[in-house]
Structure 1
Amino acid sequence: MANRQVPSEGVLLGRARVPGYEHPRVITVRGEDIVDITSKAAPTSRDIAEQGDPAAYVASAKGPVIGNLHQILANSWSGKTDLKAPSLLSPIDLQAVKAAGVTFVVSLLERVIEEQARGDKAKADELRKDILGLVGTDLSQLEPGSPAAMEVKKTLIARGVWSQYLEVGIGPDAEIFTKCQPMASVGFGADVGILPISEWNNPEPEVAMVVNSKGTIVGATLGNDVNLRDVEGRSALLLGKAKDNNASASLGPFIRLFDGKFTIETVKAADIALSVTGEDGFELTGVSNMSQISRSPEAIVGATVGRHHQYPDGLVVYLGTMFAPVKDRGGAGKGFTHKLGDVVSISTPSLGTLSNTVRLATEAAPWTYGASHLLRDLAKADLL
């Protein structure tokens, strides 16, 4: 089941391009079939998230079968799509797309320790001993903003190793940024884009929370928070340029809605696997363990939406990753960066597998269908 593209159970919500319709269709999975559940009561993914019980709504929704699940998945790959058959889109539409950064203290502190030690194991052990003496042997238990975290902050400042990344990693305030505009995310099989100017970039395998306008988490999906490490490395003020580009936000393949069997606790226990396969034969694998996250999904959502910031159409928020690829590619000491044509797959049994191909953002399909187009097309179809 770990290698399934779609989980074999659960209430799944998605969107598809279906021939004969100008607007995307809202879909679900029933066995091996994809069912179109678009209706006037809920013509968008956003509208379903706003239902009192989204999972119950989708589970009971009626509609025609539009095709076989596996055939539609196969037809969703960019460059192989038969326009006469359905294909998947990102499972969200009008929701805002946000992301959290530096949410795994364990990997963050270890990177700081390694950087400051400059290869000297004795120095690394000394700094690690200082930190562990303050918080205990399990760094994953360090709660950002807590008194223990502030003591670690003092120690690191005294060592001269404090940074803006440590501030959002263990300080009181989470880093929340806009990943892309509503309607701009891409789905399973689509190309994901990197800027031509970037020479050091990587995938970020993450879980994304789906949240309604009241701030209630209603489900989860997988995401690739495509990252340009060299651009952000020049200046944190270039975060928007590093993160928000054409086809740089991937989500899917489906939203799995919370019900009795799938809950926030399932998400917290998930291991998110990553694989990258290059046309040059290069292979990279890794895992991000959600149990190691330092800010809980609820805390990240609470930092994003509330009395301080409303989202009338709801939102999706990437939770961050502990995985930073370091495997050399192209020579010793060169580290990892993408090459065009890389296939990136992000998976966990409860959510399936999200796969995409890496292209230049300038060569990926342009984003031309926005919220205004969707609303006009829904109005023409008498769905508003």
Structure 2
Amino acid sequence: MKSIFTAEELAGTWVGRVWNPVEQGPSVVTIRAGRVVDITSPTAPLVRDICEMEDPAGFVRTAEGVDLGSIEEIAANRPGDRRVVHFLAPSDLQPVKACGVTFARSMVERVIEEQAAGDPARAEAIRRRVQAVIGESLRNIRPGSPEAARLKEALVAEGMWSQYLEVGIGPDAEVFSKAQALSAVGWGAEVGIHPMSQWNNPEPEVVLAVNSRARIVGATLGNDVNLRDVEGRSALLLSKAKDNNASCAIGPMIRLFDGDFTLDDVRVAELDMTVTGEDGFVLNGRSSMHEISRDPEDLVAQTIGAHHQYPDGFMLFLGTLFAPTEDRGAPGQGFTHKPGDVVEIAAPGLGRLVNTVRLCTDCPPWTFGVRALMTNLAARRLL
């Protein structure tokens, strides 16, 4: 099995969560010398609490802890088995938000989904028509700029305006709720596709950890699963297409910003993704953060401010460049997931996130919510 972190990445400052069978609840952990160390305490019973500190990385580096085992040992344990230590999503009370249509190339695919009304058989012909009209003109357009406004006028005249282009090159970013607090799955877990969808794909993304004061304190990887046919049928189905059981994976852990890793590293992150199917199909993809149309700080500012507060902070998916068009089956049908697909997302500095795709109705149900967490922490005298 490949390592979750490279030797260089292990030198970073990491915070995350595991299921602790002794406590029958989650523990806050960090990585030290390749070992997973429990640093849960009354001072910081939650990852949320660490993110709210003035110096999260400094606290994590010096916190006393208990060795729970090696990364490899814990990674080998089955997620969801409450008898063993296993990785959870690294966030807890933070709601999971996501930004859509933040890359020009994937924005074109969203337009195609809309024009095809969710029918993959129509997508290829529409793709040729859309690209003939739009071409490469979107790549250097700054959202909300006068140039973007002129392009909008030209597209309206061509009958090609779209709600996706509105948020892609207009002044306002698309920010939506991806998952409730505690509902995201972590490293090695099953990630869910709603059974209503027949055309869907993974979305490899960088996910920011943002505290209640709008300060970005770290980053991790995420898979914002996309149901192309459901969202393509109607934008009003977005919430159903984005939020279901095991709707997204986050992990393996949050790398906290410090002197060796900052937001500038996120801005140039290169994400590689591989999908390996039980049928032998392999899909390789890539997302380059340097091609994002909106800066991460702008996306955070459009999410939190005088208009919306998050007292426990939030996790923010930044969007993806990846939009697969490679045929998996019949010509012109494009790519879609099949149950059993293994999705691996990796980026230098952020580690490696691996999940297996299932129907969300076949994934383990989400049962450990906020009340269960509070009850568990109170019983452990951590609150």
Range class of TM-score, shorter chain: over 0.9
Q: Partner of 2:195 in structure 1?
A: 196
Q: Partner of 1:332 in structure 2?
A: 331
Q: Is the 8 A contact 2:88 2:185 kept in 1?
A: yes
Q: SS at 1:17's partner residue?
A: strand
Q: Partner of 1:343 in structure 2?
A: 342
The alpha-carbon distance between structure 1 residues 156 and 49, as it changes in their structure 2 partners (threshold 3 A), is same
Query: 45, 48, 55: which is aligned to 1:43?
Result: 45
TM-score, length basis structure 1: 0.92
Q: SS at 1:355's partner residue?
A: strand
Post-superposition offset of 1:98: 0.3
Q: Is the 8 A contact 1:187 1:250 kept in 2?
A: yes
Matches within 5 A, 1:202-241: 202-241=201-240
Percent of residue pairs bearing the same amino acid type = 54
Q: Partner of 1:73 in structure 2?
A: 75
Q: Partner of 1:263 in structure 2?
A: 262
The alpha-carbon distance between structure 1 residues 225 and 67, as it changes in their structure 2 partners (threshold 3 A), is same
Aligned counterparts of 2:279 and 2:112: Cα–Cα separation in 1: 33
Q: Is the 8 A contact 1:33 1:66 kept in 2?
A: yes
Residues 123-142 of structure 1: CA deviation (Å, up to 9, x unaligned): 956753xx74xxxxxx4432
Q: Which amino acid aligns with 2:265?
A: T
Q: SS at 2:244's partner residue?
A: coil
Q: Partner of 1:9 in structure 2?
A: 11
Q: Partner of 1:175 in structure 2?
A: 174
Residues 25-57 of structure 1: CA deviation (Å, up to 9, x unaligned): 000000111000000000001001011110111
Q: Partner of 1:143 in structure 2?
A: 142
Q: SS at 1:141's partner residue?
A: coil
Q: Which amino acid aligns with 1:281?
A: G
* Moved beyond 4 Å, runs of 4+: 109-127
Q: Which amino acid aligns with 2:37?
A: V
Post-superposition offset of 1:229: 0.8
Post-superposition offset of 1:180: 0.7
Aligned residues: 371
Post-superposition offset of 1:9: 2.3
Matches within 5 A, 1:156-171: 156-171=155-170
Q: Partner of 1:136 in structure 2?
A: none
Aligned counterparts of 1:68 and 1:144: Cα–Cα separation in 2: 45
Aligned counterparts of 1:77 and 1:117: Cα–Cα separation in 2: 38
Q: Is the 8 A contact 1:140 1:293 kept in 2?
A: no
Please tell me whether residue 321 in structure 1 is matched to residue 320 in structure 2.
yes
Aligned counterparts of 1:13 and 1:312: Cα–Cα separation in 2: 20
Residues 162-216 of structure 1: CA deviation (Å, up to 9, x unaligned): 0000000000101100001101010000000111121111111000110000000
The alpha-carbon distance between structure 1 residues 360 and 111, as it changes in their structure 2 partners (threshold 3 A), is closer
Please tell me whether residue 276 in structure 1 is matched to residue 275 in structure 2.
yes
Post-superposition offset of 1:158: 1.2
Q: Is the 8 A contact 2:96 2:316 kept in 1?
A: yes
Q: Is the 8 A contact 2:201 2:228 kept in 1?
A: yes
Residues 38-83 of structure 1: CA deviation (Å, up to 9, x unaligned): 00000001001011110111011111101111111111456xx5x5
Q: Is the 8 A contact 2:222 2:251 kept in 1?
A: yes
TM-score, length basis structure 2: 0.92
Q: Partner of 2:245 in structure 1?
A: 246
Residues 233-291 of structure 1: CA deviation (Å, up to 9, x unaligned): 11000001101000011100000000011111100101111110000000000100100
Aligned counterparts of 2:90 and 2:111: Cα–Cα separation in 1: 36
Q: Partner of 1:135 in structure 2?
A: none
Q: Partner of 2:118 in structure 1?
A: none
Query: 47, 52, 55: which is aligned to 1:53?
Result: 55
Aligned counterparts of 1:104 and 1:361: Cα–Cα separation in 2: 27
Aligned counterparts of 2:133 and 2:227: Cα–Cα separation in 1: 32
Q: Is the 8 A contact 1:106 1:292 kept in 2?
A: no
Q: Is the 8 A contact 1:256 1:351 kept in 2?
A: yes
